Amino acid sequence: MSDSLQVPAPDLGAAAVSAQRRATLTPGSLGQTAAWVEALAALRRSPGSPVTPTAPTLVVFAADHGITLRQVTAESPAESARLAGQLAASEGTTGRLAARAGVRIDVTDVGLTADETPPDVRADRVRAGSEPIDIADALTLDEVARAIQIGRDTADRLISGGADLFLTGLCGVGVDVSAAALASHLTGMEPIEVSGRGTGVDDAGWCRRAAAVRDARYRLSTGSGDAATLLRVAGGTDLAALTGFILQAALSGVPTMVDDVPTVVAAVLAHRFAPGAERYTLVPGPRAEIVHGRLLGLLGIDTLSSLDLGTGLALPSLLLLPLLLAATTAVDTAPDEPGPNRLATAIDDWDRALF
């Protein structure tokens, strides 16, 4: 990948114009969401233009992971294809919530093992599944490169179609194990600290997960630390595709929301390919997993809110999105000047906790 990738810098002037427009509203009316509006305005880089996203799009990459052979998950590997198809049909909790919020859904099969790609899912398989990361490389470097390019092409296609804010997710049983191994390596946390129970494995399953993460972490530590190598050793086609997607969205100046550990891992790897990509990464809220905060520390970013928005594929982002859209709409539709009845002696900012 080229070393000359340049991520556009946010426009602080656009943020200032947005802040001036917000000042015509009732003082303090948007609370903490005011900062979201100005952040989005800076990322838009178009002073005076509307900030409210008009075509938010949920992008999901689906793949199977060979590590599921070790019985480290609570679901059957067959769930990957079923859930991908369900989501593409706007069914299930995430699908219905996205449809209600007017969020487009784009699902791509980059590595499922099912005989056929589910209906309504875009078929672009790099390979069927990946290798078990405890004993073998997940992918080859050529497969990593192809998956990254699929992600970049997906971003270009959707941006050309008008998408202006992305929500993201990964649909693959076992992806959390790969992400845990990568997170352990990236943050320096011990494998046992990042090996959660996923969606609910029993004690024996948790022990197998911890062992798989430990062995994959050891294999990661013996190779090069560049992002492509990390994806080759312990990633998967879905993680690689999402990394490429986040990278290309940032290069195009379009913000991307990530919420769980696997999607944040992809954001960290995108940053390694192109420092500055993290400027276009939005995280809705904190997670219970300590490693989530450690990964955000690597990116040097904070969550948009302090709300614990739960778990589920893109659910935190979908739950926060209405607040984000409401805040931006309030500023976009604000009057050009303050209300005529405001006295010249009035002030706009003060410490409300005191008086």
pLDDT at 338 over 70: no
pLDDT at 176 over 80: yes
Q: Which residue(s) pair with 105 in the sheet?
A: 58
In angstroms, the CA 245 to CA 270 distance is 8
Q: Write out the DSSP string of 240-290.
A: HHHHHHHHHHHHTT--EE--SHHHHHHHHHHHHHSTTGGGGEE--S--S-H
Amino acid in position 154: T
3 state DSSP class of 339: coil
Residue 228 falls inside a structural domain: yes
Q: Is the model more confident about 182 or about 345?
A: 182
What domain range is 198 assigned to? 56-314
Give the tens place of pLDDT for each residue, 121-163: 999 999 999 999 999 999 999 999 999 999 999 999 999 999 9
Torsion angle (degrees, nearest 10) of CA 65, 68, 73, 75: 80
Residue 266 falls inside a structural domain: yes
**Residue 61 backbone phi and psi in degrees, to 5:** -110, 135
CB neighbours (10 Å) of residue 203? 8
Residue 9 falls inside a structural domain: no
Residues contacting residue 151 through CB under 8 Å, at least 6 positions apart: 61, 240, 241, 242, 243, 244, 245, 246, 247, 248
Give the model's pLDDT for residue 14.
Answer: 94
Give the tens place of pLDDT for each residue, 71-120: 999 888 899 999 999 999 999 999 999 999 999 999 999 999 999 999 99
Give the model's pLDDT for residue 336.
Answer: 75
pTM equals: 0.94
DSSP 10: P
Residue 27 falls inside a structural domain: no
Residue 20 falls inside a structural domain: no
Q: Could you tell me which of 176, 188, 166 has the C-alpha nearest to residue 236?
A: 176
Give the model's pLDDT for residue 40.
Answer: 95
**Do 290 and 193 touch, CB atoms closer than 8 A?**
yes
Q: Could you tell me which of 220, 165, 174 has the C-alpha nearest to residue 43?
A: 165
**Do 70 and 173 touch, CB atoms closer than 8 A?**
no
Q: What share of the chain in percent tops pLDDT 70?
A: 95
Residue 23 falls inside a structural domain: no
CB neighbours (10 Å) of residue 289? 18
Q: Write out the DSSP string of 153-214.
A: HHHHHHHHTT--EEEEEEE-TTHHHHHHHHHHHHH---HHHH---TTT--HHHHHHHHHHHH
Give the model's pLDDT for residue 5.
Answer: 87
Structure tokens at 181: 């191994």
CB neighbours (10 Å) of residue 202? 10
Residue 60 falls inside a structural domain: yes
Residue 292 falls inside a structural domain: yes
CB neighbours (10 Å) of residue 234? 31
Give the tens place of pLDDT for each residue, 93-105: 999 999 999 999 9
**Do 73 and 199 touch, CB atoms closer than 8 A?**
yes
Q: Which CATH number fits the domain that encloses residue 155?
A: 3.40.50.10210
Domain count, the chain: 1
CB neighbours (10 Å) of residue 309? 18
pLDDT at 297 over 90: yes
Give the tens place of pLDDT for each residue, 202-235: 999 999 999 999 999 999 998 788 999 999 999 9
Mean pLDDT (the chain, rounded): 93
